[in-house]
Homo-oligomer: A and B are copies of this chain.
Amino acid sequence: MHDVTRDLSEAVATSGVQTGLCTVFISHTSASLTIQEGADPDARRDLEDFLARLVPEGDPLYTHTAEGPDDMPSHIRSALTATSLSIPIANGRMALGTWQHVFLWEHRRRGSSRHVFVHVLGTS
């Protein structure tokens, strides 16, 4: 899980929008987005471990295995989390709660370069 909150905050600040909506979209099927506890790295590790156990590698159920043992679980983990998130903007900032950070969740063992789109709308 990679914290992208600062990048998003900068995009919102640059836009000059005071009241509006920030939509985040990841253009991949083996990585996803989530808003989670940003303070304690243990919480993130538990999340990763839980999802890895829930959707394990090497499950005999999988038939789509040509791209490696971490490929099919990465699709399922993506489907169970979020591909898009919409966050209100108030007073020029994302209205995130005290503990909320936005994470790009890489589901492959070795992710390649990832792209996230940020769409900001509103009034300045």
- Residues of A at the B interface (CB closer than 8 Å) are 20-21, 23, 25, 27-29, 34-37, 40, 42-43, 45-47, 49-51, 53-55, 59, 61-64, 72, 75-76, 78-88, 90, 95-97, 99-100, 115, 117, 119, 121
Kindly identify which residue among B25, B59, B72 contacts A43, using a CB–CB cutoff of 8 Å: B72
- On whether the beta carbons of A85 and B88 are closer than 8 Å, the reply is no
Copies in the complex: 3
Kindly identify which residue among B27, B81, B119 contacts A96, using a CB–CB cutoff of 8 Å: B27
Q: Which residues of B contact A63 (CB under 8 A)?
A: 42, 45-46
Q: List 28 A-B contacts (CB under 8 A).
A: A27-B95, A27-B96, A27-B97, A28-B97, A28-B100, A29-B37, A29-B97, A29-B100, A34-B83, A36-B78, A37-B64, A40-B64, A42-B63, A42-B64, A43-B64, A43-B72, A43-B75, A46-B62, A46-B72, A46-B76, A47-B75, A50-B61, A51-B79, A79-B81, A82-B83, A86-B86, A86-B119, A88-B117
Kindly identify which residue among B54, B59, B82, B119 contacts A21, using a CB–CB cutoff of 8 Å: B119
Task: Give 7 A-B pairs besides A50-B59, A79-B81 with Cβ atoms closer than 8 angstroms.
Answer: A28-B99, A45-B63, A46-B64, A46-B75, A50-B76, A83-B85, A86-B119
